[in-house]
Structure 1
Amino acid sequence: MSKWYPKNGRVIFHVDMNSFYASVEAAHDPSLKGKPVAIAGNPEERRGIIVTSSYEARAKGVRTTMPLWQAKRLCPDLIVLRPNFDRYRAASSKMFKMMAEITSLVQPVSIDEGYLDISSCQSLGSPLEIATQLQTRIKNELDLPCSIGIAPNKFLAKMASDMKKPMGITVLRKRDLPEKLWPLQVAEMYGIGQKTGTKLNGIGVNTIGDLVQADPYQLKRLLGVNGERLQRRAKGDDMSPVDPEAIYDFKSIGNSETLPEDTTDEAVILSLLRKLARKVSTRLTRKEVVGQTVQLMIRYFDRRTITRSVTQTAYLATELDIFSVATDLFDQHWDGRPIRLLGVTVQGLIERNQIVEQLDLFRYQEQIGDEAINEVIKQLTERYGKNPFVNQFTEKNVAHDQPRTSFQKDFLDDFRNDKE
């Protein structure tokens, strides 16, 4: 059996549940099987947004992020359901326990996907046999479909799992790349979004194969260090480990600054909070990470220091989002005494490229608007040298009726606790 396992390499699985939310609903209610089903945050509202949909709905043109009215126009018989978080969490927990029975090297990425390192699992069979057994067990016991990518590293395993859906198993070796990977459009490569794809197209990089052959210096000028990293991955190189401890890694990025003099002037305080939010956002962007928790530190004139934090339902990295949450915390916890120092920190960081987002059910429409607003404000700030809307952000912008914890983070906490 050892012939199926490289002597000096790794065998990595990427397990990706297919249309997870809709599949869980169909497993719970078999009458939904074979029908076009979609999950939406507010199905009663005409302006609701599709979160995910079954393959039957996708065949009619229904897509994630599509407005509900448009989806119903494409598919009049679409069955729209509200999300059931407890149901999804329970199914996910069972799926990850099955993975953990194969190997202790399991790294959850989100509620519906994770990596396994089976390099030392020769006694269980060949990689293809292990993948088939896992896929069959998940289907038989949970009635849920999944796709599995098998490769020598995480990046290739992720690409492989996307090649056959639903219920696919794909082996992607380095020798297969010229035939299976490089002909794909560069925008299909994991880690390349629409903006990056457009930039690459602008220099004649249209396929992943073009990226492999591209001038490294030109890529670096265009995309910075990310250009080099993307090219390495396109060549099939990725040394990142399958790290079960990643769910314990709560890194942070923060900035603090002492005021010229102790003050209670709210205009001065808000100006500094905005400055700190900008610095933190810049560092998050440079490191290509996002976070969910914002922490505010207030040091008073007598050196007494307090820290307060809140965890959002969505990942955030923009200056406006960080500033909004920081000012909300400030309004809640400042006691009116003179302030000497302020600090803003974003915690619970993960790489942007490691996120396979389950669409935020509560804030998606708000986020669409925020992205457009942020771009306009950025352009005006560059033109006039300052933000013309700075006074518009002195009010609290975080909705108090939204959940204060992330469904994704709750799930990872559950997985961690199950292991302990």
Structure 2
Amino acid sequence: MAEGSGREQDRSLGLPWQGPAVGLLDLDAFFASVEQLDHPDWRGLPVIVGGSPERRGVVSTASYEARRFGVHSAMPSWQARRLCPGAIWTPGRFDRYRELSRAVMGIVQDETPLVEQVSIDEAFFDVTPGRWSRESPLDICRRIQLRVRKLGITCSIGLGTSKTVAKIASERQKPRGLTVVPPGAEAAFLAPLPVRAMSGIGPATERRLQELDVRTLGDLALRDEAEMRRALGSVGPQLVRRARGMEGSPVRETARPEEAKSVSNERTFSHDLLTREEVDAAIGQVSALVGERLRKRGLRASTVTLKLKFDYLHARTAQRALPRPTDDERRLAACARGLLSGLWSPGLGIRLVGVGASDFGEGAAEQLSLFTDEKGDERDLRALSLATDEVRRRFGKSAIAYGRDLRLEGRDSDTLPMNGGGA
């Protein structure tokens, strides 16, 4: 194993690299770093991107200056403010983060077409020698880091022979780290690490492994695959192989929008939803956002998922298939409301409502008549949805509001609904 950068590492690697070379790029405290880039007077100060404590916000990202106080991503904002009362708070600007994320991913794609973006601030990339270039994978990673730094932000990179090794390596030295695990060094690198260092092992799996006296990845690597299947089910043998550094999952090019596996949206509320009317309105509002995104991408979904979050730790989801694919938010919402009784009863506070759409296909052509739908007894309002999309595109999201929007006006948490932005 070699860590860091410089001539010492070149010698220790015993170049040239033999076999697969997979990197994981992780942008350092991405959202906070962008804010410090755009606000020079914030540099060197604790910056927190997230929702306000008064509106039940959550930390999206904390700068490294704020992390010294114990602040971290996904922490409730009230707790972060208590830990770091002098921090600069900002709700975030998703469009700006997405702009820089695209620039970074473009840099990586200049080096290899095999780039698998897993979030707004993370991507795997394959730089196996001889596949796209004969250049050293280490030199490629250094060049990526240099070009990202010229954008005004920084990244950490893990380089190894598999996704598992690259992901864990990327977290070893942050910020601005480059951790390299050369071929043949995987087992030695992984063995002393706690099992929770490997993605896919959550608290429940960690507890089960501890019951089996498995505390490190080295312990896990020594276990029999059949034994782990009995203990953990089908995932058990896979975890053993990954702990041995034997994962073979390839880097896959990031799906184009039309190849997306799901489209979803969620909304967090500053005060709990308690009544059926409020929850119905929230489902309708979130479903409308999902429907708009489906139509924009030319997708129709066959499955709807409803997600409810009751507090910081507890959430429930349910899923149901539709009779045929659709991009009509009214049908999405009706399906999601049909799942509600299995997850919730009036009076139980809900802080977050999410709706997802998946299993895309063409299906039967949608009926565009304003007077009949597939049952022939209701008006098909899809044409109205298309008209609403166009008005909002031309005049802004607030150009048209429905009763459900007015019912919930002012009840948003101001935490941005986004993925990524962590370490």
By the TM > 0.5 criterion, same fold? yes
**Residues 60 and 75 of structure 1 are in contact (CA less than 8 Å); yes or no, is this contact kept in structure 2?**
yes
Quick one: distance in 2 between partners of 1:246 and 1:13? 18
Quick one: distance in 2 between partners of 1:251 and 1:67? 31
Sequence identity percentage: 35
Residue 27 of structure 1 is aligned with which of 15, 27, 37?
37
Quick one: distance in 1 between partners of 2:169 and 2:16? 18
List gaps (5 residues or longer) in structure 2.
Answer: 1-9, 268-278, 289-300, 318-338, 355-403, 406-411
Aligned to 1:77: 86
Q: Is residue 17 of structure 2 the alignment partner of residue 5 of structure 1? A: yes
Quick one: distance in 1 between partners of 2:343 and 2:198? 41
List gaps (5 residues or longer) in structure 1.
Answer: 253-291, 294-310, 315-323, 334-342, 348-362, 376-386, 410-420
Q: Which amino acid aligns with 1:49?
A: V
**Residues 22 and 159 of structure 2 are in contact (CA less than 8 Å); yes or no, is this contact kept in structure 1?**
yes
Q: Which amino acid aligns with 1:221?
A: R
Aligned to 2:101: 92
Aligned to 1:238: 247
Q: Which amino acid aligns with 1:5?
A: W
Paired residue secondary structure (1:4): coil
Within a 5 Å distance, the mapping from 1:263-302 to structure 2 comes to 292-293=262-263
Paired residue secondary structure (1:104): coil
Aligned residues: 303
- The structure carrying a bigger helix percent of its residues is 1
Quick one: distance in 2 between partners of 1:371 and 1:76? 24
Paired residue secondary structure (2:111): coil
Aligned to 1:105: 114
- Pick 1 or 2: higher relative contact order, CA cutoff 8 A, min separation 6: 2
Paired residue secondary structure (2:219): helix
Aligned to 1:134: 144
- TM-score scaled to structure 2, two decimals? 0.62
Paired residue secondary structure (2:231): helix
Residue 312 of structure 1 is aligned with which of 251, 258, 265?
265
Aligned to 1:228: 237
**Residues 149 and 170 of structure 1 are in contact (CA less than 8 Å); yes or no, is this contact kept in structure 2?**
yes
- What's the CA shift string for 1:69-99, capped at 9, x where partnerless? 2222222211111110011001101001111
Quick one: distance in 1 between partners of 2:100 and 2:118? 15
Quick one: distance in 2 between partners of 1:124 and 1:133? 15
Paired residue secondary structure (1:16): strand
Quick one: distance in 2 between partners of 1:201 and 1:188? 14
Paired residue secondary structure (2:188): helix
Paired residue secondary structure (1:51): strand
Residue 216 of structure 1 is aligned with which of 209, 217, 225?
225
Paired residue secondary structure (2:314): helix
Within a 5 Å distance, the mapping from 1:354-393 to structure 2 comes to 367=309, 369=311, 372=314, 374=316, 390=342
**Residues 23 and 127 of structure 2 are in contact (CA less than 8 Å); yes or no, is this contact kept in structure 1?**
yes
Paired residue secondary structure (2:74): coil
- TM-score scaled to structure 1, two decimals? 0.62
Quick one: distance in 2 between partners of 1:25 and 1:124? 38
Cα displacement (A) at 1:172: 1.2
Q: Which amino acid aligns with 1:367?
A: K
**Residues 23 and 159 of structure 2 are in contact (CA less than 8 Å); yes or no, is this contact kept in structure 1?**
yes
Paired residue secondary structure (2:54): coil
Cα displacement (A) at 1:47: 3.6
Quick one: distance in 2 between partners of 1:195 and 1:40? 28
Q: Which amino acid aligns with 1:99?
A: V
Residue 216 of structure 2 is aligned with which of 207, 217, 237?
207
After superposing the two structures, state which structure 1 stretch, 171-180 or 198-207, moved more.
171-180
Q: Which amino acid aligns with 2:265?
A: Q
Quick one: distance in 2 between partners of 1:373 and 1:52? 22
RMSD: 4.0
Q: Is residue 6 of structure 2 the alignment partner of residue 64 of structure 1? A: no
Cα displacement (A) at 1:368: 5.6
Cα displacement (A) at 1:105: 1.4
- Change over 3 Å in CA distance of 1:170–1:69 after alignment to 2: same
Quick one: distance in 1 between partners of 2:102 and 2:224? 44
- Change over 3 Å in CA distance of 1:227–1:29 after alignment to 2: same
**Residues 46 and 65 of structure 2 are in contact (CA less than 8 Å); yes or no, is this contact kept in structure 1?**
yes
Paired residue secondary structure (2:311): helix
Q: Is residue 163 of structure 2 the alignment partner of residue 154 of structure 1? A: yes
Residue 175 of structure 1 is aligned with which of 170, 184, 187?
184
Quick one: distance in 1 between partners of 2:77 and 2:169? 31
- Change over 3 Å in CA distance of 1:186–1:85 after alignment to 2: same
Cα displacement (A) at 1:242: 1.4
